Every structure is written in C-alpha cells, then in structure tokens.
A and B are shown apart, each in its own frame.
Chain A
Amino acid sequence: MRINVSHMFFVTGLCTGFLSIYYFVYYNTSTAEAALFSLGHTSGVDYDRWIQKNLLPDEDGSALSQNVQVLCWIMTGPRNLESRAKHIRATWAKRCNKILYMSSVETDFPTVGLNVSEGRDQLYWKTIRAFQYIYQHHRNDYDWFLKADDDTFVVIENLRHILSKQDPKKPVYFGRRFAPFVHQGYMSGGAGYVLSKEALKRFIEGFDKGKCTHFSTIEDMALGKCMETMNVEPGDSRDVKGRQTFHPYPPDKYLIKQQPRKRPWYLIYDHYKPREMYMLEYFTYHLRPYGYKYRYNPDVTATEVESNNTTTVSD
C-alpha cells in the first residue's frame, strides 16, 4: 500500500494523542502534597536529588587535612591481616594522609616487611624498625607520625584538631599518659601515640648514637624512656574540659556505670573486635541525631569554659 500524506498525519496524531494522555495520567499525580505519603503506593516524586553525602566537610575539615599531614602506621602481623588490619583498611585508615601496615613480612595487603620476628616480645623491635623505615622513606613528607595497634579505632579529624594547635617542629609526642616507670611518664601503646617530626628525628638519633637501646620488650614504656632521654616532651592531649582523648580500652569501659559480671574464659571475644570497629565507624561517621545542637563546643577556649561554668549555661 502506498504511504500517503494523510497516513503520516494519522500516525503523528496517534503518537501525539497517546503521549499527551500518557503525560497527563502519569506525571500529574506525582505532584501530590509532599506531606501526605500515606495515600497509595510510593509517589513518583524524585528524591534522588538528595545530596549523595549529606556530609559536607566545611572549610575547616578539608583545610585541616592539608595543613596537618599525618602518617599512620599500624602494628600488625601476618596472622592478623585478615582478622584485624583488614577492618582498619576498610574504615579509618583512608583518612590518614599516609597509611602503612608494619609486619615482619612484606605482602600485597600491602604490608611493609621489617627485619623482625613475630611475637609479643618483639613489639619494641618492631616499633624501632618501623620508625626507622618511616624516617628513611617519609620523614620530610609528613608533620606527625601516629602509631596504632591493629585493634585501635582512630578519629583522624579529631586528632588533627588537637595537633593543629601544636608545632611539629617541636620535640613533643601525644597519647594517653601513664605515670609509672618513667619519670616524665610514657604514652600507652594500646591507646595509640603520635610523634612530631622533631620527636621522630630524636628517636632515630637516640638509636644511632646509642643513647636509646632495646633495653626492654615493653614497647610503650621503652619508647617513653627514649623520649625522656632525648628531651621529647610528653604533650597534654586532653580537651578544653580536661577530658582524655586517647583511650586504651573500648568505649564500654568508660561509659557503663555498672560493669557487667566477668565473662568466663570461653566467652572472651577477641573476634568481636572487627564488629566493634565497624560499630565505631557507624557511630562516628554515619549515625547522627538530626538537627541536634551538640553540648560540647571544641572551639571554645578554656577561659570561656570557665565563665560558662559559673553562669551554668549549656555549651
């Protein structure tokens, strides 16, 4: 059949009619009152215009990342890569300017292979070799050098906030200070500690010159002694309200008013640590109370806190 002009008009009319009715039926209903979702199936309103991450780091957040360069190294080993280090890699490690996993063996994890063996009594050797490696390869690229165990959770932004007020050219290191054994105190290994650029330099110098030695296998205490010997100051990492920011134990220990009964040995759960790592990641970076005006304002100075306390105004 020969196609003539009137056929074309017919077909065009067909399409126009179909499409206009289609538009009318399907698109008008979706401008229903935003307030009433209870009627019928999910409306056609497009909520995907929501900003993908409602997390918008403001000027401060990203600026800090540039101004306070932190290298993080994790004390780990072949047996703990899958069970522990992997979860650090999946959570907070990416927030460091540089992350290194220190082990006795080099792998594709990736881990740095240090010239040490594994075991609790090798921890200080590992620490020494790790810092020597870092000094050799990275000393000029970063301001601060954090050591953490493979079961530690670090909120890097909060660390940067503390360090932003400090000078990395000064011989100082921060962590959770314990009093015994070392006159000026030492920083708990379990809570993590961070050395300034100068402190790192002095630690390495100490071993080069024989002023510091491997005199003990207790990593944190021994490092603390070396810091003292090399005149590196133990800094105060507490917040403006005098509260500790480095914790050697999980949050439960500090928050639960009545400690639960001691668990029997067969219920001791090292393997729960990964779960807790992800829980902390969820609590810190995801779950939040919408619109909540947090009580603690870290930018208020200590003197303002003083005056606030006397007038009992919630901060």
Chain B
Amino acid sequence: MLSEGSSFMKGMALGGIFCLVLALLGSFTPGMQSSPEDQHHHHHIKAPSTDELQRLSEPQMVELTKKVRVYCVVMVQPKVLVYWATAKDTWSKHCDQAVFYSSESTKALEAVDLNEKDEWARLRKALKHAYDNAGDLRWFFVARPTTFAIIENLKYLLLVKDPNEPFYIGHTVKSGELEYVEYDSGIVLSYEALERLVKVFKDEEKCPERGRALWKLSEEKQLAVCLKYTGVFAENGEDVHGKGLFNGKSVSSLIEESMVKNPQDVVEGCCSDLAVTFGGMSPSQMQVMMFGVYRLRPYGHDFHDSLILLPPEGSDND
C-alpha cells in the first residue's frame, strides 16, 4: 500500500512540476512578459456583457450612470466653419459638456481660442484646459469635427470602468514599436490618464511642446509617446464580439467596403451595432446620421437596456 501511495505522490509531484515548467516557458515567449513596460501587446477594451450588467444592483447602476459623464474636446478651425457648426448642432449635444477649441478666434462661433497654429501645441493646450475645467466629469473624448460620435455608446463602453485608472482608448494603430490611438476615430482618456499627461507636459525631455524639427511626429503619435512615458498604453475599443467600436471612416465607406468583402452579408460583416465613432463624415452625412441613429427604428423592437440615457434638452434633430 505504501509503495503504491508513494508512487502516486511521486507521479503527482512530477506531473505538477512538469506543468509549471511548461507554463513558465509559455510565459517567456515574446508578448507575454508581465513587466508593465511591455504590457503593450493586443490591448483590448470590451464593452460590458449583459451578464456583467445584470449582476449590478439598481442603485449601483444609477451610480454608474451618473459617474460615466463625458467632457468632449472638439478641435476646430474657423476656416472650415461648416464642420464646426454641424458638430455643434449634431452629436456634440449628447456630451455632458462639449467645449470647442479653436486655432484662432472668430466671432462666428463660441470657442476657447488657443491662438496656436501648431497642431500638437494646440492639442496640449486644449487638454490642459479640459483638465483644469473638468469639474466633476471624469471621461474625456477628443475629436475633430469631421468625426461623428455616439456618446451613449461611449458611455456604455466605459460604464464599468474606473476613471481613476489610466485609460487611453480608441482605434489603435501600430507604427513600429509605438501603438497609438487614431485621431480620426476619436480619442478617449480617463481622468487619471489625463492627469498623468498634464504632469508629463512639464517634462520637456520626454514630452516637448515643439517637436524637434527633424523629428516631427503627428499629434496622435506624440500623444501616445507622452502617455507611454507615464505608463499609459493605447487600447482598442471593441464590442462583445470583438468588433471595433471606433471607426476612422464614414458609414458609407465602410458599407461600400463590406459590399466588396462580404457581398452575402453586407451589414452583418460591416460595423458594430453599438459603434461609437465614424470619421471622415461630411456635414450633410452628419445630419442624416442624427436621424439614422436617434430617430429611425423599427416599431416593436425593445432592447431592455440596463441604463436609461435621456435626450438632450432643446434639441430637435434627435
């Protein structure tokens, strides 16, 4: 009996050690390193599932709905006034606060005049201003007026995320070693990420205000570099099926592409039902989007969503 028992124990010990060794070997393959600096492979942020939401109590849900409020930073230019006016009249109405940051002052529309021609410097100033004026808003959405955003779907994505953790979300693109969020699809920052960013702005070595002339990176990449220094990494926003929620192209472009790529399943193969952004939209397209998103729907389809988001006051196109 004893010999069998000890055989068993020896076997178990050997099996266990063998498995551990395999696991450790597995974790040494590239991309699986657990050190914070290198946790940059395949960062995804997924929208919450129904199960997750159902586990929350009613008061918890109300609490979360109140916390997930968004400050929209819209970077405008007077020379393309019509985009600015359209953003003001359409999607930005659904932000808890929408502030327009302009390159120069203009009497036509109200904005924070940054008096700055350089794109990166402008973005820095806008973000600093947003941080200083956030009030009790904890999520920041940065976009150009050619991007259409469905803020309700952004709130849904962020619903169970803690803004005191660093988040930098959007449609991620890899450029060599750098993974950054594409500007045209909108950039999402949590309060913590923005706070770290504003701190690192002061570091001229890591995050210079005027990029060295030969080393001019686009603003979206500059942003990613600065954030990386603070330990904040870009994450791709996706729905529960893994479909990207942030799109740098317009609905019409994406549908056209899908007609070529998935002719049998054009709409299913295209875009997420809960998409947050579409880029490259013209003012006319945005007006049609307001109808398509906020009004047009088939009678009798109820979704039993876990939260209620009210339409903005004083608006007639949604």
Interface residues of A (CB under 8 A from B): 5-7, 9-22, 25-26, 34-42, 47, 49-51, 54-58, 60-61, 64, 90-91, 155-158, 160-161, 251-252, 255-257, 260, 274-275, 278-296, 298, 314
Contact = CB atoms under 8 A, between A and B. Distances in A.
25 contacts: A6-B7, A13-B11, A25-B23, A26-B23, A35-B161, A40-B34, A56-B302, A56-B303, A60-B299, A157-B300, A161-B300, A251-B292, A252-B284, A256-B287, A257-B287, A278-B267, A281-B266, A282-B255, A282-B270, A284-B298, A286-B267, A288-B274, A290-B274, A292-B311, A295-B294
B117 interface: no
Chain A interface secondary structure, helix, strand, loop or mixed?
helix
Interface stretch (B49-57, B97-105, B179-187): B49-57
- How big is the B interface, by class? 35 or more
Given A19-B15, A157-B299, A287-B292, 20 more contacts: A7-B7, A10-B11, A16-B15, A17-B12, A18-B15, A20-B12, A34-B48, A36-B162, A47-B49, A50-B49, A50-B50, A54-B50, A56-B304, A58-B300, A91-B267, A251-B292, A251-B296, A255-B290, A287-B271, A293-B308
A18 B16 contact: yes
B49 A279 contact: no
A14 B32 contact: no
Interface of B: 3-5, 7-20, 23, 31-32, 34, 39, 41-46, 48-52, 150, 152-153, 155-156, 160-162, 165-167, 233, 235, 240-241, 251-252, 255-256, 258-259, 264, 266-267, 270-271, 273-275, 284, 287-288, 290-311, 313, 317-318
Contacts, number: 256
B15 A15 contact: yes
A268 B292 CA distance: 23
B152 A291 contact: yes
A41 B41 contact: yes
Contact of B293 (A11, A287, A298): A287
B303 A288 contact: yes
B298 to A, nearest CB: 4
Contacts of A294: 294-295, 297, 311
A155 B291 CA distance: 14
A298 B299 CA distance: 8
Nearest to A285: B298
Given A36-B165, A286-B273, A292 B152 contact: yes
Contacts of A282: 251, 255, 267, 270-271
Nearest to B33: A40
A182 B32 CA distance: 75
- Most chain B CB neighbours (cut-off 10 Å) among A34, A47, A54: A47
A18 B18 contact: yes
Nearest to B32: A41
Nearest to B263: A90
